[in-house]
Amino acid sequence: MPKLITIEALRWKGWEQIYGVPVPGCNPNDDFFPRKQDTFLAPYQNICFPNLQTICISYCHKLKTVFSVTSVSSLPNLESLFVDECDNLEVIISLRPPPPQVIFPKLERIWIKRCRKLKSIFFTAILATLPRLKWLTVEDCNELEDIISSEAKAVRNLSNFFQQVYFPTLQEIEISRCNKLKTIFSFTIVRSLTQLECLIVYLCNELEELFSFDSKDAEKVEQILTHSQQVYLPRLYKMHITRCNKLKTIFPLTIIRSLPDLEELCIEHCNALEELFCFDSKKAEQVEQILISSQQAYFPRLVLIDIRGCNKLKFIFSFSVAYHCSSLEKLCIECCSKLERIVKFEHTATSEEGVGAAIDDNYCYHLLFPNLYQVELQKLPSLTQTFPGFEPEFWYIKDCPLIVPATIQVPQL
């Protein structure tokens, strides 16, 4: 079947029917797979589809495994895999026997939706065998606990930690309505995501962290990462996080000095969110001094921050982070009932003075947000101040009763 490009499997209750969409020259009535099987390609280890580019599987309620490792070698040009409404699907790729060196050399997109028994997308053993994966979308998988099976989480050999590479071409991740998922990736994986550009997470009610340390050797790994000069997520430019009600922080300490291309940060209705940038109280002063004294610009391209419906958030920036956000142009905050300040000054010796400027503990002047021109503040009943003398070109303020009018500069119309 050298010319077959697309296979669609639709509404198979017991694998009674397959629908093929071939190019001319391939018989659409060919019976490719036997009936009453629970694995998509396992029985056909010797059949090769050298030009097959897309597989779509929908409403196959008895399907438990999409691929066996022995069958995937017959799909050298597969580019897209779409799986939808497979109620009993447990495994995308079976690991028995162990996988070959490269499983899908050209697979670029995986889209999984409404597979209610699926607990993980990838096993450890296949992470390095997807060299061209660019887009990963997972929706409505309510039993999903891990993007990568929990067996991948332990960092077993710290000496090899920086030598492992996973998902070298992954550009976009979109995860939505996966209500048992607690983290997206461990730092074992994050350090390899050098091409990731967009991260969208929506309605994951049990999500506690976007990026986590492996439970084993967590302190050792954190120490390595904190003192490393590596830049994490160097091409990530957009983050949208919505309705993740157990998420307490967005950025852990280890990547605050990274994200050089981040332009857009939008957080909506994360009711447990306490801070955007995580600073453990024991480390806050040490980290503050490191960040302030550094000549490196953090978040050098961040132009938009939009935060709505985060009712435990008390401030947006620490002074150290605000000092480095020199490119910020637009700040929108709405319906954050406990927000008290835009900028939190960590040390008692720090004071505020001048037009958008602050004085640190060493009595050095710093101009905050020199490019900020638009501020929108709405429904913030606890907000008491932005910072004195700041004069953006455009203010929009509504239902912020505790802001003293004298501290707000309203442009003349």
- The pLDDT of 24-45, averaged and rounded, is 38
* Helix or strand holding residue 211 (H, E): strand 209-212
pLDDT score of 102 = 67
Percent of the chain with pLDDT over 90: 37
Q: Which of 109, 244, 120, 253 is nearest to 173 (CA)?
A: 109
DSSP assignment, residue 39? B
The pLDDT of residue 328 is above 60: yes
Q: What is the largest CA-CA distance in the chain?
A: 80
Q: Residue 198 in contact with residue 238, Cβ under 8 Å?
A: yes
Among residues 136, 209, 210, 130, which one has the least CA distance to residue 171? 136
pLDDT per position as a tens digit, 342-400? 988 754 434 444 444 454 544 344 567 888 889 999 999 999 877 655 666 788 889 99
- For residue 199, pLDDT beyond 90: yes
Give the residue, 167 or 4, on which the prediction is more confident.
Answer: 167
H or E element, residue 187? helix 187-190
Tokens linked to 10: 């639709």
3 state DSSP class of 221: helix
pLDDT value at 107 more than 70: yes
Tens digits of residue pLDDT in 217-230: 455 555 555 556 67
Quickly state the pLDDT bin for 123 (edges 50, 70, 90): confident
Render pLDDT for 224-275 as a digit per residue (tens, 0 to 9).
555 566 778 999 999 999 999 999 999 877 776 678 999 999 999 999 999 9
Mean pLDDT to the nearest integer, 165-188: 91
What phi and psi, each to the nearest 5 degrees, are found at residue 321? Answer: -70, -40
Tell me the mean pLDDT in the region 184-195: 86
Contact indicator for 220, 213 with CB cutoff of 8 Å? no
Q: What is the pLDDT of residue 23?
A: 28
pTM: 0.80
* Residue 75 pLDDT: 78
Q: Is the pLDDT of residue 117 over 80?
A: yes
Exposure string (b/e) for 342-356, b if CB count within 10 Å is 16 or more? bbbbbeeeeebeeeb
CA–CA separation, 227 vs 390, rounded Å? 35
| Beta bridge pairs of residue 122 | 148
Is 272 in a helix, a strand, or coil? coil
Tokens of 373: 């021109």
Residue in the structure block whose two tokens are 């429904």: 379
Would you tell me how many other CB atoms lie within 10 Å of the CB of residue 107?
22
Read off φ and ψ for residue 222, nearest 5 degrees: -60, -40
- Tell me the three state secondary structure of residue 327: coil
The predicted pLDDT at position 391 comes to: 64
Res. 188 pLDDT band, cuts 50 70 90 = confident
What's the whole-number mean pLDDT along residues 100-128?
86
Of 249, 320, 236, residue with least CA distance to 280: 249
Sequence-ordered alpha helix ranges (H) in 201-312? 218-227, 284-293
Of 27-36, 186-195, 292-301, the range with the lowest mean pLDDT is 27-36
